[in-house]
Structure 1
Amino acid sequence: MRFPGFLKASARRTAAGKSAVALSLLGMTLLAGCASAEQSTTTTGSDSGSTTFKPVKQDDTSQITVWADSTRLPSVQAYQKSHPTVKMNIVTYDGGADGSTYLQTKVQLFDRTGSGWPDVVFGSPTDVTWAAEPTAPSTIPFAAPLDQNLVPQQTLDGFAKGSLSPCQINGHTYCMRNDIAQVVLWYNKSLMDKWGYQVPTTWQQYQELGQKVAKEHPGYLVGSVGDTNSQESYFWASQCPAFNLVQPNNLRVNLADGNCTRMSNLLDSLISEKAVTTQGFFSQGFAKNSGSKVLMAYGPSWYGQYLFNTAFKTPAGQIAVAPPLTWPGETTPSTGNVGGGVWMVSSHSANLKASTDLATWLTTSNDNQASAPTYPAYAPAAKVWLANPENQKYFAADVSDVFQQAADEVWTGWSNTKFSDATAWSSVVLPALTAGKSLTETLPAWQAAISDEAKAEGYTVTNQ
């Protein structure tokens, strides 16, 4: 079974270790491509966003080396088969899974030796935060700025609104998103119809329905906060400034903000009613003991296939999806994102033509993305993905409109940082919930843990 997209590091650990959607990584082969280290940049101002990218000497016939994880390997092989004139050396590695720093460590080594960089790599959004900067004063960034005459702006503009935000650093775009995992409201339509419940469209209605379910159908659930990515479904969707980069190296972490407390208060009320569980959907034994009692779940677009279908084994034709929920005064909702990998092209590549063509094909080609395991970030390819019957037949109704709407509603204020947003949640919040503390009373400790991580990574932190 291919794992759904690229989840956050600790989320992958939870799912891989405790659910049926685990990813089996192939063995790593340390075969790195070589390219000239002769490269220069011209800086026209003090801001690094004004740096002009100058490629190394190019040879359009040279071999390119591609590093991909096992899930993306078939796609790379498909490109090779359909482009037989392109010479390729394909290497399978962990793709940044489980917080691996393998790619970063190898790039640092290649920077010291002056050769060995792969031409194209699959990685996590976190990888972009270091790949867009030099690893040492005498080096240049590993990732090439794709918006500087490498990928047409029209192509970059075709990605879902905000989906390239993790790729954009200092005014340039250093990667293309492979997939996204926009958060939506999943629900069991069969049970909702049976019990005469209306699907909520606002957070207030969600709370009220959860409280009603707790009274009328004890044991049934409308959500979980117990997984290592639950904060991305709930607090990200509430526009909570937990990971808000106000400047490239200035992080705002203010969990006392009203957008944070409104969500913690709502969830605390549902936790106390036992309508929202503090046990993770992917925790040991949950699928067997409680999977059939999940009435609603606020979570990523891959929940349908990989949570309800694969893990919970809910029969086909029961599960449906609804748009992200709104708060009072909002006309357009904001939502979160739980996963999605990226493709980067090396600034050291001697064959940028083939390298960028491959990265573009992997992320935008209908031939590749129509059968992808998760929702494509590139909007035209996403339409083809949605038209694939294999991506629709399990559900009670067409998911197209909801998925496409939510893809453009992911809030960009939850920033891509040099550290995982799952660490503090897992080490501070989840144990507190297990101990019986409320989310609201745990917010200060969560804020302190995030702030400490940020400072350790060199960020200036503001808590207001």
Structure 2
Amino acid sequence: MFTNRPHSKGPRSRALAAALSAVTAVSVLAGCAGGSSGGGDGGGNADATLTVWTDDTRQPAVEAYVRAHPQARVKVVLTSYKAGEVAQKIALADRAGKGWPDVVFLGSPSDVSALAAAPLRFAQPLDELVPEQTRRQFAKGTLEGCTYEGKLFCLANDTAPVVLWTNETLMKQFGYSVPTTWAEYRELGVRLGKEHPGYVIGGINDVSGYGAFFGGSGCPDRETTGPTDIRIDLADPRCTRVAELLQPLVENGTVTASSPWDPTFTEEVGKKNTILMYPAAGWFGEYGFKGSYKIPDGQLAAHPVPAWTGDSTATTGAMGGGLWVVSRHSRNVKGAADIATWLTTSDAPEGIVAASALPAHTPTAQKWCAARAADRFYAADPCPAMLDAAGRIAENYDYIRFEGQFADSYAQTFVATASRKGDLAGALPVWQKQLVQAAENAGYKVSR
């Protein structure tokens, strides 16, 4: 993030420490293989072919690296990025004694905890492979979750703080003002439901919901408090106020339980331009409104998220923020580290500056922002709100080892209740029970 959080050791770092201090569930898969063996010749074979696991969003950047380095031998492999799946695939490679990637993209940042921890110990420390000057160029806070006991285990691809996206054309047409508090947000939603039914001001499905609303509220649903300790307390006022905020908006349909990526939502809401506002990550402007919904130019703007009544400052949540990890099994760890460095820092036209998310590397982010400021798609430069939000992510929105189970339990309880317009406050105890079970299964001691 571009401004540091007011604590000496950030939550991402605390969460990584927790994972590195405990045996995770992937040990069952890893078995005795354990990931203890290194590359065949100590990682110094400059002629070795390097395998990069990536998703389709990052694929163009990887291919741009290949074109920029014709002498490099690189094999690009598309792979799944659901939380926990990369660790499972690495564990299977450990059992086989082969098949590890040299570089891997983590679309679920929490997975770095398992990759750096025993029994996998997959992640290669990068301190001697990435120059200190380069490391210092990353925005403050973005490498916190990559660092444990002074060692750097990954490079941050991007940062994904939540902002309040608004359709300025619709706001002006309806005569509404951008809410600065969540109370105003709720009042606007109630008013919108009566005056312009069919329009929406947000969604609670997947990370769009728990990242934007619960995460931004500081709800202790994933607050790591020690190496193997976590606090989960959905009865905390910072959690219950989210349910109270959303209840009337879910009931009148201005906050939807549909996924923003559901084809029906895309066609019936997104492309019909009936989203008045939407709390979501910075990348949602490029990937959602511009890429998927294709709303007209000059309508979309980014604003700071509203503040909660009684809070001295507004805090926000996050929706992603990818990481690149280098394998300690690589036969050419220097070459692999060079790929990860280029992918996160290059200003090549088809590199990260062309991606939908705000780069974590500060000089590259400045060029990314310059392109957004000149983009006619936006009603105003969205970067000031994004950069401000990057320093406001709630301190207890931590990396956890059960990210996939967290999302599943949220969908099965809170989202399911919202889908039938049920009692959201009543869903919290049910979600609490499932979260506690998932955390205990992942090796945490849970407190409230």
Q: CA 1:304–1:105 in 2, change beyond 3 Å: closer, same or farther? A: closer
After superposition, residues 125-140 of structure 1 pair within 5 angstroms as: 125-135=109-119
Q: Is the 8 A contact 1:238 1:335 kept in 2?
A: yes
Report if the CA contact (8 A) 1:189-1:318 is conserved: yes
Spell out, residue by residue over 1:403-455, the C-alpha distance to the aligned partner (whole angstroms, 9 max, x if none): 22122322242222222231111112222222332221111111111111111
| 1:182-221 matched pairs, under 5 angstroms | 182-221=161-200
Give the RMSD, CA atoms, in angstroms: 2.8
CA distance in 2, matches of 1:410, 1:391: 27
Give the Å deviation of 1:100.
6.5
Q: Aligned to 1:70, which of 35, 56, 64?
A: 56
Task: Provide Cα deviations, 1:41-67, integer angstroms capped at 9, x if missing partner.
Answer: xxxxxxxxxxxxxx9463455443333
The amino acid across from 1:451 in the alignment is V
In the TM superposition, what is the alpha-carbon distance from 1:236 to its structure 2 partner?
Answer: 0.5
Letter paired with 1:70: D
The more displaced of 198-207 and 62-71 is 62-71
Alignment counterpart, residue 409 of structure 1, candidates 392, 406, 412: 392
Q: Which moved more, 1:289-298 or 1:437-446?
A: 289-298
Query: Cα 1:299–1:341, aligned 2, differ >3 Å: closer, same or farther?
Result: same
The equivalent residue for 2:255 is: 276
In 2, are the aligned partners of 1:111 and 1:135 still within 8 Å (CA)?
no
Cα deviation for residue 166 of structure 1 reads 3.8
Amino acid at match of 1:351: N
Aligned partner of 2:14 in structure 1 is none
How far residue 76 of structure 1 moved from its aligned partner, in angstroms, is 2.0
1:421-440 map, 5 Å: 421-440=406-425
Aligned to 1:357: 338
Answer yes or no: is the 8 Å Cα contact 1:36–1:56 preserved in 2. no
Shift of 1:343: 0.7
Q: 1:295 aligns with which of 266, 270, 276?
A: 276
CA distance in 2 between counterparts of 1:170 and 1:207 reads 44
CA distance 1:100–1:245, change in 2 (3 Å): closer
CA shift, 1:238, in A, is 0.6
Paired residues of 2:373 and 2:381 also in contact (CA < 8 A):
no
Q: Which residue is equivalent to 2:28?
A: none
Does residue 97 of structure 1 match 2:81?
yes
- Shift in alpha-carbon separation, 1:156–1:247, aligned structure 2, 3 A: farther
Higher relative contact order (CA closer than 8 Å, sequence separation 6+): 2
Q: What letter matches 1:333 in structure 2?
A: A
Structure with higher helix content: 2
Q: Choose which of 342, 355, 365 in structure 2 pairs with 1:372.
A: 355
Gaps of at least 5 residues in structure 1 are 1-34, 40-54
% identical equivalent positions: 38
2:429: which partner in 1? 444
In the alignment, which residue of structure 2 is the partner of 1:317? 298
Report deviation, 1:253: 0.9
**Residue 110 of structure 1, CA deviation:** 4.1
Query: What's the TM-score, normalizing by structure 2?
Result: 0.82
Secondary structure (helix, strand or coil) at the match of 1:422 reads helix
Q: Where in structure 2 are there 5+ consecutive unaligned residues?
A: 1-34
Query: What's the offset of the Cα at 1:326?
Result: 1.8
Report the count of equivalent residues: 406
Does 2:141 correspond to 1:149? no
